[in-house]
Structure 1
């Protein structure tokens, strides 16, 4: 047996070698086939059958495949499982290959490399989230980060010191991160949830980047885009290079790159985003996050804009106030807001439709989306008056001027265009006279076929005779073998020409039918060809207007977000915050937006609380004490979220709010470990605390919860004490500091600007009642034993813990040197065998009614018996 591969397998292996690191989808007719290791990996990942096809080097070749028409769902599964997929299409008609000889192979080539950061298909993307591809570049000591979403055209870049890379990746949340070979950023990419792709150093060469970017944007020079550093050019150039590699001949329609400044947005590190659950809950997924709780946007583009705003609240006062003006205007006009939201709900995702059209992956439905979006844009513009706030007025200007394109698309397309152009049927009647004439011939041909069937049935005397069509035989006459006998005998055999015999049917044709088929087939093919040409013309018209269409899409998203914030404010009773350049932080009756929403579902109310971290211009720190379960963490988080909402341009869940611009937000809440990197819970706590103390400036807002609890009591107390002093004297920031170390409350008398606050509780007959109310003052104890009882610890354990606590507290009051001296006197800690479990208290005897109830099986009672039982129990009481 020869070890030489067949021509087809040789072609497969050559294409596979040219695309290392990716599964190869090899088009064979109506299937994408995979072979060798690709087939083994794909079959396991997709849970599909693994078969064999031929041999190679004496071994069977593993094979699996997926249908072309269902490929997108399989691609989604593979991408989510970390694979990259190279799509190899047939580049010619198989009939052309046959003309060259029996051993000729259909020409195939990779037309696209599918990766997590380069998705455009609607079914592969989350409609309400961006799909960013990011690149990090270093040129000597200069570093930069660029990111693009080819599904929407967004393209941004910023100078980014490596120390800022983790927070920025957490903000952007890219699906894929490009780095130069040897960059060693695996941990950062994994933490950000991004697939890491290493490119050759040449992809990050800044001089080559200029050539790539000018080619991408079809310009002679980049001077019109602004001035970029070498690192910024290298990062953008790496993205352009990667898009050339993955998209082959079809490059995406990216907008001109926008530079972002680190100082332009509130700085929020990865740990803080995670702790505050801004866009993703700690449990995973969107539900339970701030984003999910406040998202009332009507459009996909508006939802993506909301996520960007929450991820990067602005630090520009003019921008923040302009956004608040727009929200206030709409909140004060409920009718206008309702009308706007109703119109916006009919706006499709124009950004992504435009992107698919630019990449030649779009269809008639994408043209319809552009038409509908621009039509609704005119409607929305008509609702906004000249006296609207600046933000809304400027947005409205970008919504008009598209009438000519709308008219063209309206005339050309049917009301509900199909997804794909290849099957035709999307061009409206009356748009093209030649097409209408060709369609008439095609459609009348079908009528002629129907009439011909009746004539042939009558001629043959076979009422069951049928006229059918398939791609192999074309049109044919079909009848049963019994009836076919007389059709194959004279004189009928002179009319009916035998074509094919199947198991149950005999098929015929006629000279007349063959001639008619030629005319019909030509008409059908010509109509499809004409529709494809019209599609190309319409696509070109849309792409020519891509820039103003993109501006309209962004304007609609801005209006949508303002209307959503207004709806949220009026529906939930939120108020406009005062944001200025001071260091104030005063919240009256503040609430936690996520917790309040959850409580409303249970028909429960949220206890609002005040927070005042400043007296004049002096920064203030609140030292918060109180038991677990009392609401300390909720109070801490709600104030951080209020600051984020205010600077994102939203109203806030409070009766009144005065917030001096927050430059940085840090939150160290909860306990978690990082065992993969060898970090204990306490080490993670200390690393995050160190980051806060080393970075927080005097405009920062710092949220700290239970610093030092991960180590021994005296160590932890010492660390918490020193951290508090550093925040007050060195960082001089606004801070909320929650602790169980009551000893720290003494600092309020020693440090300027430090105040004690506590979450109130009440004891009633040994039970602890949480009031969820924050008051000035310090907690007298932690109520840990009571909380343990609520958690369900056995009564014996709770009783023993209370006894030990009483002894420890009495020993402390009597001046014990160390708790160990008291513990040594407790029976529980003596060297003698441990005491037996505390005997259970004698249970009181059941009453007569209780004894009677104990013997009752409710499921066995009829309604009448249940009523009789109630009367019986009543008599026993």
Structure 2
């Protein structure tokens, strides 16, 4: 479609580039723009602004469009699927160009941010009419008002309601044997600001626990070869920033300026590395938000000792928040999420990714769930109330950043109203400690602000403040008058006309309007004497125009009314914008209390949601203490159980697990689990790890009874994968992950290992697995589940006192294997791999040959067996050439059975037939 005021055309179209290639493309800075010698004034301005923002795509505002030029345009056209066109020339070459409409910019920003790009938004800072006053060739002033990056977005359309959007900064201070490291993370959309010390060996695990959308660090840190493995694992979310912004020495000055305080004494004590991370995060926020200041909370220390350590491989293997394919569907979070608010969903995810290690705090959370489980009616009322709570923490952030609109104020108003209702439901109850603290924060929300917002805001609110109409009628007298003038000018003029007729007695008097005179009073020439016949009349009625048969006048009152009518719309909008700014100021002043109230509502939502989960899924309350117990009765896999019920309508087979220390033992037990493929070993391993995670996050768990001594570190090595980008085979990855477990696990750890050693030769793998179990038993002394197909390892139970053999039970029936999915004491004598291969659909000839090879290998020593098997080649010749068996002649018993029709037999006939069949069977046996 043609764009007004330009000699070029903009069309939306398709590109032929493979979108997968676009998505895989790293978010590298665009090349620097060409020199601006000889450029038009507008292009000179563009090049100057682009030079300052070389690492971002520049959205350059031109009327109703954001335009992109040069390489920015080429990148955006591929990423967004829009037509690349051109505008004029620069240094003799065409200037590539593409653009997006301002009103739809959020949609395009979402796609660019999703691909890892950063965008600098450049707005017109004055009206084009103002620019023309400086000369016909003057260019409208423009400037970058914000940088849009993955970690700093606040737009509702760009954010996942149930997922935090963290910007993280990595601080490093050299000194001593090893540099000190710290992480600071901010969610600009909610104001969360936290900091934690870390170390090189757990850096990746800590970053993945927070799961930031963007990670920034000093250039020197970014280019440090020692950190390259971590940054490679993170991909393109990591990026460098000037080293000066991470200076711990100037951090205090930066923070006091940002928060408007004289000293940081009230913030607590932070290490130099923590100050470096905090300063880097704040500097990046200031850079991206330009002149706006988000309402961030003060940085709070996140104590690593209070949360369960889960290494990156374990976090991926257990699929806590995403499956291995990256989907939320199929994850533990999806299976347990019953929250009804976005804030509640984010808090649930936060608790799941950072389970606690303090039994007293875990008990407080479980008390909250127990309370709502015992009060179903109250819980349902509360959840119904919470459904009406908008995400007012994010609305607050948009308002403070001057990106909010009337609906954000409306969200705050609705949120405060719902918060009062929630507090009213719970306030008079005898509540557990966590819920009582939440209610107190809700009760501390500013009631006068809630009342003011309710009084000021209309019921129906526009998206943008510039549209007006968001202030409630009756709130401001002058605004009501302006609206009346704007909307009811004809009625007001008619009223004045009626008053003048009554006053002058001239029945033909009219108030009319034209574009030359505006509003005027018109009377016939015969009646004009009444309006200008005396000095008093002349003083009031001012003559404007004489016609052949009429005369026209005005009055001071009519002139003032005309001015008011002409300016009413602009004045009404101006009054509304003034009201908006005053309300925004009140909201920002109360931001601390509002954030606390929003967090308290999220606590109520999570507690009530976990109670619903426990009730609907039949979960029990775990007993969590400081012992080394690990006793689970009737444990179930929370994700698999729901999938079986939904897809196959089948029940899940529950199993016990007891890794608790025996009376004579000081440390927890190790279970050596054997059994067939598809028997359920991996499911059993994972479900026990997930039960421990759920228990320590403060949730009820899928079991009949659970007694759990706090786990401080959780390790899981389940499944097979390679890392070809780093030159690691599947077996190498397996060994690296196993090494990490053996080097870090302690007596309070829970270790889950599945099929260690399977990626290499049989005897090599058996030797490694054997030695690993011995090391877990003697050195790590942790609680562990170790699944293996090396049946020879079951002999270790005679040597290792805390090792117990358990197996997945199966039944064989007429050559088929039936998986019972039950755990029992003892060891499996075989793996049933050939039966599983047959179930998978391998050709019958392959299955039969496999049976023969297996039988040959299982007969005594294997020495020389392989050579003899090779002599049998070609393997499948006999199977291929074998003629089909001739159908056997039916025996008399079969013929007798075939002749029976039970539906037509009397009970006596049926009994007689049964005797005949028994007699025939006896003859055949003899």
TM-score (norm 1): 0.87
Kindly tell me: are residues 618 and 187 of structure 1, through their superposed partners in 2, closer, same or farther at Cα, counting changes over 3 Å?
closer
Query: Of the candidates 420, 443, 450, which is equivalent to residue 400 of structure 1?
Result: 443
Is contact 2:42-2:139 (8 Å) kept?
yes
**Is 1:153 the equivalent of 2:196?**
no
> Where does residue 163 of structure 1 map in the other structure?
201
Please, which moves more after superposition, 590-599 or 217-226?
217-226
* Cα distance in structure 1, aligned partners of 2:269 and 2:548: 83
Kindly tell me: are residues 840 and 831 of structure 1, through their superposed partners in 2, closer, same or farther at Cα, counting changes over 3 Å?
closer
Kindly tell me: are residues 713 and 532 of structure 1, through their superposed partners in 2, closer, same or farther at Cα, counting changes over 3 Å?
same
The C-alpha deviation readout for 1:687-716, integer Å capped at 9, x for no partner, is 000000000010000000000000000000
**Is 1:760 the equivalent of 2:809?**
yes
**Is 1:260 the equivalent of 2:302?**
yes
The C-alpha deviation readout for 1:195-254, integer Å capped at 9, x for no partner, is 122011111100221111112211111111110001100000001111111100002111
The C-alpha deviation readout for 1:80-109, integer Å capped at 9, x for no partner, is 112110001011111100000011100000
Residue 618 (structure 1) shift: 3.1
Is contact 1:266-1:662 (8 Å) kept?
yes
Kindly tell me: are residues 187 and 356 of structure 1, through their superposed partners in 2, closer, same or farther at Cα, counting changes over 3 Å?
farther
Secondary structure (helix, strand or coil) at the match of 1:747 reads: helix
> Where does residue 375 of structure 1 map in the other structure?
417
Is contact 1:569-1:651 (8 Å) kept?
yes
Residue correspondence of structure 1 range 25-36 to structure 2 within 5 A: 25-36=59-70
Is contact 2:849-2:875 (8 Å) kept?
no
Query: Unaligned regions of 5+ residues in structure 1, if any?
Result: 452-466, 476-492, 496-512, 848-877
Query: Unaligned regions of 5+ residues in structure 2, if any?
Result: 1-35, 496-512, 520-546, 550-557, 890-926
> Where does residue 176 of structure 1 map in the other structure?
214
Residue 37 (structure 1) shift: 0.8
* Cα distance in structure 2, aligned partners of 1:846 and 1:377: 80
Query: Of the candidates 749, 753, 761, which is equivalent to residue 704 of structure 1?
Result: 753
> Where does residue 509 of structure 2 map in the other structure?
none
Query: Of the candidates 182, 189, 204, which is equivalent to residue 144 of structure 1?
Result: 182
**Is 1:562 the equivalent of 2:601?**
no
> Where does residue 586 of structure 1 map in the other structure?
631
> Where does residue 388 of structure 1 map in the other structure?
431
**Is 1:613 the equivalent of 2:647?**
no
Secondary structure (helix, strand or coil) at the match of 2:467 reads: coil
* Cα distance in structure 2, aligned partners of 1:382 and 1:116: 39
* Cα distance in structure 2, aligned partners of 1:558 and 1:61: 54
* Cα distance in structure 1, aligned partners of 2:817 and 2:285: 61
Residue 838 (structure 1) shift: 3.5
Query: Of the candidates 475, 481, 488, which is equivalent to residue 437 of structure 1?
Result: 481
The C-alpha deviation readout for 1:553-589, integer Å capped at 9, x for no partner, is 1111111111011111111110000000000000000
* Cα distance in structure 2, aligned partners of 1:4 and 1:58: 10
**Is 1:675 the equivalent of 2:717?**
no
> Where does residue 393 of structure 2 map in the other structure?
351
The C-alpha deviation readout for 1:623-646, integer Å capped at 9, x for no partner, is 000011111000000000000000
Residue correspondence of structure 1 range 178-217 to structure 2 within 5 A: 178-182=216-220, 183-184=222-223, 185=227, 187-192=229-234, 195-217=237-259
* Cα distance in structure 2, aligned partners of 1:135 and 1:708: 39
Is contact 2:634-2:654 (8 Å) kept?
yes
Query: Of the candidates 278, 283, 286, which is equivalent to residue 241 of structure 1?
Result: 283
Residue 833 (structure 1) shift: 8.8
Kindly tell me: are residues 820 and 398 of structure 1, through their superposed partners in 2, closer, same or farther at Cα, counting changes over 3 Å?
same
Residue correspondence of structure 1 range 616-765 to structure 2 within 5 A: 616=663, 617-765=666-814
> Where does residue 533 of structure 1 map in the other structure?
578
Is contact 2:485-2:492 (8 Å) kept?
no
* Cα distance in structure 2, aligned partners of 1:193 and 1:634: 30
Residue correspondence of structure 1 range 845-864 to structure 2 within 5 A: none
Is contact 2:70-2:96 (8 Å) kept?
yes
Pick the structure with greater CA Rg.
2
* Cα distance in structure 2, aligned partners of 1:156 and 1:335: 37
Aligned length: 787
Kindly tell me: are residues 820 and 250 of structure 1, through their superposed partners in 2, closer, same or farther at Cα, counting changes over 3 Å?
farther
Residue correspondence of structure 1 range 500-539 to structure 2 within 5 A: 520-539=565-584
TM-score (norm 2): 0.82
Is contact 1:358-1:543 (8 Å) kept?
yes
**Is 1:551 the equivalent of 2:596?**
yes
* Cα distance in structure 2, aligned partners of 1:832 and 1:594: 46
* Cα distance in structure 2, aligned partners of 1:644 and 1:575: 14
Is contact 2:482-2:564 (8 Å) kept?
no
Please, which moves more after superposition, 188-197 or 207-216?
188-197
Secondary structure (helix, strand or coil) at the match of 1:117 reads: coil
Residue 25 (structure 1) shift: 0.3
* Cα distance in structure 1, aligned partners of 2:228 and 2:490: 62
Secondary structure (helix, strand or coil) at the match of 2:339 reads: coil
Kindly tell me: are residues 407 and 708 of structure 1, through their superposed partners in 2, closer, same or farther at Cα, counting changes over 3 Å?
same
Secondary structure (helix, strand or coil) at the match of 2:751 reads: strand
Kindly tell me: are residues 449 and 8 of structure 1, through their superposed partners in 2, closer, same or farther at Cα, counting changes over 3 Å?
farther
Residue 144 (structure 1) shift: 0.7
* Cα distance in structure 2, aligned partners of 1:33 and 1:843: 77
> Where does residue 866 of structure 1 map in the other structure?
none
Residue 283 (structure 1) shift: 2.1
Which of structure 1's runs of 4+ aligned residues deviate more than 4 A?
446-451, 513-521, 828-834, 843-847
Kindly tell me: are residues 516 and 295 of structure 1, through their superposed partners in 2, closer, same or farther at Cα, counting changes over 3 Å?
same
> Where does residue 350 of structure 2 map in the other structure?
308
* Cα distance in structure 1, aligned partners of 2:151 and 2:412: 24
Residue 820 (structure 1) shift: 5.0
